[in-house]
Each structure stands twice: as structure tokens, then as C-alpha cells.
Structure 1
Amino acid sequence: MTDIAAVLATSPVIDGHNDLPMALRARAGYRVEGLAADRREFHTDIARLRAGGVGGQFWSVYVPSDLPEAEAVVATMEQVDAVYRLVAAYPEDLAIAYTAADVTAANRDGKIASLIGIEGGHSLASSLGVLRAFARLGVRYVTLTHNHNTPWADSAADEASSGGLNDEGRAVVAEMQRIGVLVDLSHVATATMHAALDAATAPVIFSHSSARAVTGHRRNAPDDVLVRLRGNGGVCMVTFVPAFVSAEVAAWTEAAEQEWARLGLPEDADAWPRAPRPGEEIPARPVPEQGPGGDHPPAAFRPWLAAHPRPEATLGQVADHVDHVRETAGVDHVGLGGDYDGCDRLPAGLEDVSGYPRLLSELAERGWTRADLEKLTGRNVLRVLQAAEEHATEPLWPSTTLGRDRP
């Protein structure tokens, strides 16, 4: 049996997507103290990152895609600030990283490399200047859309309007790759995936998507796209979101949302609470946001829940998706993007960021070798990061004492 501890010592997990910055805004008023251990209102704290063998984390700087674009830029800046404040609060454990070499250097120093990814092109406000400004702050990927279209790209959750990408969208992709920002195809429509791959001259990623052939969710990557990752050199980082990995959970979620709407129950008004004003401290809000999947359902919804208990996704189902991406795209094109703190619960066995070793053990039992697992955990995404750096003709990430010198 493969020694999982040895895998993680040599190639720690570099996870593609964690929404802790959003959770800090929603539940802690952006306070970053007390995250060393035992923060059970979150899926993430430093002790559990260590237990999970995490050596690199792309922190998602997500803001809702229905915000006006100018407001989205401001909110995204606040999220970027939260990442820097988080890292500054735990200098013995976390280090900002901009490049593959930075990640390696942070791990050599016993630290968890912290990278930044923007989840949705609405945060750019259709401005290449805003894109370049975020790149100078260290943003290393931008998801082209979230759940609404941008003026230049189609989302998987919206009505098509750009034919995937329009000319403006292709210009955004070209500029991202020119300055070394990874193009992320999670959340986008299938036509957008193909259009971006047609335009791409450097590897792309899916920061948190699973396999549509295994679970037919619109957020997952179809086989014809996964096959194209071979030629592109990109990587699909399999996510753990229950509705994306379990057809049973996906069906239950759709039915629950329909019943919630039929009952006329309100959407959670605090799903995107405001940030603190200068001089203000917003009280902690430890109870998760409510909705059909929440832990504290309203009385009107309880009879339906009693008659339709929520199914649980499993670690084995996640492993099925990892296996399928490997079989379809190849072992050099698969990674992990858990989406911790971005959904209300995770599959059994993967409840928080300490669970990665259990998934690796399951894959080892299925015949994954040590070399295979090392590609999955970190080597593939490091290769993609480095390829994006080498392709960039005007890299705009900040200089740093970590890693190699840059122009």
C-alpha cells in the first residue's frame, strides 16, 4: 500500500478553491484571529490544513455575480485584503505565493503557500486595467463567469448571450495569458469552455469542477472538454460539492429548492452581508446561512424534510470523479479543488480540510501509485502555474523574496 504520509511530504496538496475569505466576511466581520485551531463554524483552520497535508491553497476571493460591476470590484478588493491579512496574522504557518517557485519555497520553509483566485469575471468590470491591477496584487486565476453571464462570456447557470465568448471575451483571455493569469473554466457554459480552449495559447484550469459523465450537473466538465485538456496541458481540479459529485444529492437539492419556492420562503437576506465600515466591528455570526440545505430549517419546511431526508454524498463518489477525469484527460491533467467553506456541507469522510489523506488512501486502494498521487496532489497544478509564467510576455505578479527573480 502506498504510504500516504510520504506522498504528502513530497507533494503536499495544492487545492484549487477555498472560500474562507467569503466565510470570514459572512460570519466573522472579516476578523482573522483565532483561526489556528478549533473553528468548527468553518471547514478550515490552520490545524486542519496541516492535518490534511495541504501545502498550497488558492483562496477564492468571491463576490456575488449579481452585484453591480463597480460594487463587485470594491468587494473583491476587500476579499484580496482579507487574504493578505490572514497570511500576516499567521506568519509561521502561511506565506503569500505568486509563482510555482514561491509555492516550493514556502513548503521548504514549512509553510502553507497562499495563492489568490478571483471567482467570476464580473469582478473585472469589463476592464483590462482592473485585470492588470489584480494581477499586480497577486491574483493568479480568474474564473471567467460565476452564476451570471458577463457581457463577454456565458455562464453555465444563465441564458447564452455571447456564443460562449464574444470578441471582447477572447481579448480578456488573451490578456490574462499574456500577463500570466490562469484562465479558470469552472462555472462557465460548455460553449465557453470550448471557446476558451480554442483561444488559449497556455494551459487553462478548472479550479473546482467534477466530471459530467459521472454526475450530469451543468457545473461539471463534459468528456469532450476533458479530452481537450490533454492538448492544452491544463488541469481539472475535482471538487467535493455534494450536488456535483452525487446524482442523488443533485436531485434532492433541485426538489428542495422547488419546494422552498412553492412555500414562498425567503432567500437568506444575509447571504452576502455588508463589510464593516471604518471604525465598526460587526459581531460574529456563527450560524451558517439558511436555505433548503441549512441546519436550522423554518417550521414550514420541516414536514417536507421529514418526508424527504437529505442524502449524503460519499468520499467514494468523489474518488469516482477523480478516476474518471484521470481516465478521460490523463493522469497529468487532474487535481483537487474542494470548495471548502463555499457550500453548507461536504461528503462523508471529507467534512473539512483534514480529509484529503482519506481520499488519497481510497485512490491508493484503487491502484493509484505514489507517482500518480503526487501528480494529483500538487505536481500537476505546479506544472500549469509554471507554464503560465513561462508563457507570459509581461508577468505582473509582485516581486517577492521567495522563489526566483523576475523581470
Structure 2
Amino acid sequence: MVNEGPPAEPWLPPPPLDPELRHHIQNCPCRCDHMGYGNFLDYQIQPCPHELQIRETSFNVPQYYNGVRDYYHPYDYHSSFDSCSCSSETDSVKASFRGPWCVCIVVCVVVATLAAGLGLPLALNQKTQPQTAEERLEIVKKLLKDAPLIDGHNDLPWNIRKFVHNKLKNLNLSAISEEEPWAKSRWSHTDLPRLKAGLLGAQFWSAYVPCKAQHLDAVQVTLEQIDVITRLVEYNTKDFALVKTTQEIRAVHKEGRIASLIGVEGGHALGNSLAVLRTFYNLGARYLTITHSCDTPWATGTNTQVQEGLSEFGKSVIKEMNRLGMIVDLSHTSMNTARAALNVSHAPVIFSHSSAFSLCNSSRNVPDDVLRLIALNGGVVMVNFYSYHVACNETATLQDVIDHINHIRGVAGVDHVGIGAGYDGINMTPSGLEDVSRYPHLLAELLADPAWSEKDITSLAGLNLLRVFEKVEEVRDKWKLADVRPVEDSAPAIHNPCSSLYS
């Protein structure tokens, strides 16, 4: 730091040093700071000074140490370290039980007592650190009562469409694991008992529409999936509540219910219409996955050879999502689309169910350069549990998922990683993470690592996603105050024989 010279305000020199105290400082290298006159080293971390050389300094101006004014040390000094004894005969005779020497002893005793008092809780804290898996699980349970566990992606609504054609009247969410075809399906990992065992606080349910519906009935299918999510929650209000804001997430979590949110998976669901995007938002959708595996006319997905990312209309989609308060989800997009969206968005973005490309080079996973962009953007990558995206084979383990979490943390930071398992949309899960009941075991295993504090665990579990969502809402509110109007751009016309709208 640059020495900026004397301060503007007046400065008064310290009073002359008492000769007896000065003699004591010179001859007794104890741990005290002698009422501010000498040896102000940190006694808790430094050994005792063996010899102390003192030279007087001018009283005309205050002294500066690294640019910081020192009002009361009229002596500069330096010391070497060895013994801690005060053995000066002269000092012992003169000091007796009076003057600064007595004060020094009292101060030293008080300091030692305080140090012991601080040390005891620290020692006790070390002894009470969880040592067993059961102890760590108990801590996780307590943490998740205060901070919600939020999963970024679950495909149960699509299984409801496949297995029972969205007919919920006879669907018992507490017993589907014992019924066909759920019981034998490798794609089924979710039911009410397991959700409760997994201590889930909030879930983004996917309103997924397959790519083959693009330019056909994608909008209708998406509306039907939003409808089935809404009805599923209404049929199970004892355990679920449909939410649309961060405030509602927190409130429902405090009630002990699962806050249920809607995420639309696949930009082709929009039918190239911003009016449809706004309609989805008004129905409760709070994120849009910009693409699925297929390209749209305005954005490229993961299974593409095209190098472009977002078209001008694609950029308008991102801006309108910012205006609405809808989270931009980049899972399934090409990395060119992801980079373009990160460059356009005024709000943080997410990858709702992706992992680390450096550990498994799936096109669904996020490379390190984009992880760094996510950190700059303030977003979150929510780690997916699909074995082929975690271990690049069928035999993934819980530890493989931890490796992805730790890698993303190492590159982007602990504030930019979350959980987006993708249950019910995957048919191969890691051992130890077989279904939605296993989240606490993952968090407990992380807690065994000294690098993971309890605060870090709650950040990963859900607070990171809540922060992103709150920032998205903040951007929405600021734009509303600024009277930013809806985007009215149109996508280039698609000459589709199944559509009557050619322009």
C-alpha cells in the first residue's frame, strides 16, 4: 500500500514513556504488549521474544506501517525469538507488585485465560465432528429442515403420459413402485415414500415434449404436460404445492411439503412463438430448456453438426425470458448456443441436469471454459446422475457423481454447483443413487470430506439454485420498473404443410 502521508486531522504525540516501563520492555521479553508500548506481536501464534531492540522515533508526525497510521507506538523494534523467561534482577526488585509490571502480569493472565476459553470449544468441536455415516446422515437431515433440497429435473410427468396416458384418477403415488409397469421399469425412480425419504424440498417437474413433435403438435403436448403436473400436485396437496416464486418455495418448505415447479424441456415446444412462451410462463413454467437434442430454427442442440448458436430470434427468446422472470436452462444445448446465451442473458442461467465434460466427454456435459463463464454469470450447473453422463459407461457409482460435483466446484466455485439428477428420465443410475430416496446419502458422503462444510452442503443442495432464481426475479422486477415491454419479434416463417400460418 502506498504511504499517503500524514492524515488531515491533528495528531497528538503519546506521553513520554515511563523509565521503569521502558527498562522492563528492554530487559523482559514477555508476551504482553505493555499497554500498547511494545511487543505487539500476536502472542498466540508467535514464540516469545528473546531480545528487544528499541529506538526512538520522531513525534512530529504519526508513524505509518504499510500505509496504516499507528497512533501510539513511539518505538520501532525488531526481535529474535528464544526463551520466555523474565529473569532481570533489577526488574524483579523494582517492579514488586506495583506499576506497569503488575499490570503486565494481570494482562498476561487474562489473555491466557481467554486463550484457554477459546481453545476449549475448538477442541470440543473437533471431537464432535461426525465420524460415522449415521452421524453424518443425522446432520444432513437437520440441515435440510432449514434449507431446501432442490432437484433441477425429474421426468415423472413423461412416465405418467407413457404408462397411464395422463389419467391420474387411479394413480396412487404412494404405491406405484409396487404396480405395473412402474415396478419393473428401469425408468421409474420416483414415488411419494421415496421422495419423503430423500428429504426433497423442491422439484422442477419436466414438461417434456419429444423432438419428433417439432413443427407438429409440440405446443399441444407441452400444454398437456403442464396440465398433468398441475393436476398431479392438486391430487396430492397434502404433500405437494405448486409454486412460482422463491418466496413460495421457502414457505412451502417450512410447511414440510414439496414445492413443485414446472420446467419446459425443449425450445421446439414454443412453436417459434414468443406468445406461446408467455403463455407457458403464465401457466407456471419457470424455466425453459432452450433446446433438446434437436435443433430449432433459432438455436442448436447437442446432436448437431451446425456451428451456429443462437439466431437473432433466439436472442429475443433469451431477452423475453429475462423480462418475464423465467430461468434460462442450457442443458441439451450445443456449447455454441450456451456461450451465446450466456453473452445475451442479463440474469444468471442454469444447466438443470448436466455434468462435467472433463470427466466424461458426453455432449450433454459442460466443458471447463463454460464452467468459468457460469461462475462469471452467477449461474449453476446441476449435476446429472445418468451413468453414461457420469462415468461414460453403465457402471457409475456415487463416488463418480461426487467427482463431478468436486470438479465443477474446483473450476466454477462452490456457489455454482447443484443437483439435477434426471430421475425417471434415465434408465441407468449410479450404485448408491438408485432413486430419489438417496439424496441424503450423497450429501452425507460429501460431509465426510473436510473440504465440505455444512454451509457448502446447503449451498449445493438448494441455496445456489434459490440465489439464481431470486436474481432472475430481481432482473424481472427492475425491467418492469423500467417499463420494458414484451418482445414482439417473429421467427422466420416455416413453410410447414401441417400449419396454416406461413407468415
Normalized against structure 1, the TM-score is what?
0.80
Q: Which ranges of 4 or more aligned residues in structure 1 deviate by more than 4 Å?
A: none
| Aligned mates of 2:480, 2:427 — CA distance in 1 | 40
Answering whether residue 375 of structure 2 is matched by residue 226 of structure 1, we say no
CA contact (8 A) 2:233 2:241 kept: yes
For 2:96, the equivalent position in structure 1 comes to none
Q: Is the 8 A contact 1:179 1:394 kept in 2?
A: no
Partner SS state of residue 23, structure 1 = helix
Aligned position for 1:326 = 409
Give 1:10 shift: 1.6
Selected match of 2:314 from 136, 146, 169: 169
Matched with 1:345 is 428
Cα distance between partner residues in 1 of 2:471 and 2:251: 18
1:377 aligns with 2:465: no
Are 2:155 and 2:423, in contact at CA under 8 Å, matched by a contact in 1?
Answer: yes
Question: Which AA in structure 2 matches 1:60?
Answer: S
> Which gives a bigger RCO, structure 1 or 2 (Cα 8 Å, sep 6+)?
1
User: 2:388 maps to which residue?
Assistant: 243
Q: Displacement, 1:317?
A: 0.3
- 8 Å CA contact 1:180, 1:394 repeated in 2: no
Deviation digits for residues 321-371 of structure 1, max 9, x if unmatched?
011111111111110000000011311111110010111112112231110
- How far off its partner does 1:171 sit? 0.7
Give the aligned partner of residue 205 of structure 1: 350
Hey, what's the Cα distance between the residues in 2 that align with 1:138 and 1:70?
23
**8 Å Cα contact 1:187-1:219 kept in structure 2:** yes
Which amino acid is the alignment partner of residue 346 of structure 1? T
Amino acid in the other structure paired with 2:406: D
1:118-267 pair list within 5 angstroms: 118-160=264-306, 163-247=308-392, 249=393
Distance 1:68 1:122 in 2: 6
Identify the range of structure 1 (166-175 vs 66-75) with the bigger mean alpha-carbon deviation. Answer: 66-75
Is the Cα contact below 8 Å between 2:214 and 2:269 reproduced in 1? no
Q: CA deviation at 1:9?
A: 1.4
* Counterpart for residue 30 of structure 1: 166
Change (3 A) 1:37 1:51: farther
2:252 maps to 106
Tell me if the contact between 1:37 and 1:48 (Cα under 8 Å) persists in the aligned partners: no
Separation in 1 of the partners of 2:215 and 2:438? 36
SS of the equivalent of 1:140 reads: strand
Residues 139 and 370 (structure 1), Cα distance of their counterparts in 2 relative to 1, 3 Å cut = same
Give how far 1:394 is off.
Answer: 4.7
Shift of 1:118: 0.6
Q: Which runs of 5+ in 1 are unaligned?
A: 250-310, 396-407
What is the CA–CA distance in structure 2 between the aligned matches of 1:59 and 1:20, rounded to whole Å?
7
**Aligned Cα RMSD in Å?**
1.3
8 Å CA contact 1:240–1:318 kept in 2: the answer is yes
Partner of 1:389: 473
> Letter of the aligned partner of 1:20 in structure 2?
L
Distance 1:37 1:196 in 2: 42
Whether contact under 8 Å (1:7, 1:374) holds in the other structure is: yes
Identity percentage over the alignment? 46
The range that moved more, 2-11 or 209-218, is 2-11
Q: Which amino acid aligns with 1:382?
A: L
Once the two structures are superposed, residues 5-50 of structure 1 have per-residue CA deviations (whole angstroms, 9 ceiling, x without a partner) of: 1121122310000000000011122133200245252211111111
Hey, what's the Cα distance between the residues in 1 that align with 2:420 and 2:475? 24
Structure 1 contact 95–112 (Cα < 8 Å) conserved: yes
Give me the whole-angstrom Cα distance separating, in 1, the residues matched to 2:239 and 2:273: 35
Match 1:97 to one of 226, 235, 243: 243
SS at match of 2:434: coil
**What code does the residue aligned with 2:221 have?**
A
Q: Alignment length, in residue pairs?
A: 332
Question: Deviations for 1:263-316, whole angstroms, at most 9, x for unmatched residues?
Answer: xxxxxxxxxxxxxxxxxxxxxxxxxxxxxxxxxxxxxxxxxxxxxxxx421111
Mind listing any 5+ residue stretches in structure 2 that lack a counterpart? 1-129, 131-135, 183-187, 482-503
User: Which amino acid letter does the alignment assign opposite residue 141 of structure 2?
Assistant: A
CA distance in structure 2 between the aligned counterparts of 1:203 and 1:224, rounded to whole angstroms: 16
Question: Once the two structures are superposed, what CA deviation does each residue of 1:138-193 show, in whole Å capped at 9, x if it has no partner?
Answer: 100001100100000011112216x1111111111111111101110000011111
Give the Å deviation of 1:68: 3.0
Which among 416, 435, 443 is matched to residue 360 of structure 1?
A: 443
- Aligned residue for 1:304? none
1:69, 1:124 within 8 Å by CA — same for their partners in 2? Answer: no
SS in 2 for 1:39: helix
Q: Tell me the amino acid that sits aligned with residue 189 of structure 2.
A: H
Q: Secondary structure at the match of 1:105?
A: helix
Which residue identity is paired with 1:39?
S
Would the aligned equivalents of 2:281 and 2:326 in 1 still touch at CA under 8 Å? yes
Counting only pairs closer than 5 Å after superposition, residues 43-122 of structure 1 correspond to structure 2 as 43-122=189-268
Structure 1 residues 250-271: Cα deviation after superposition (integer angstroms, max 9, x where no partner) = xxxxxxxxxxxxxxxxxxxxxx
Report what 1:266 is aligned to: none
Instruction: Please say if residues 209 and 219 of structure 1, whose CA atoms lie closer than 8 Å, have aligned partners that are also in contact.
Output: yes
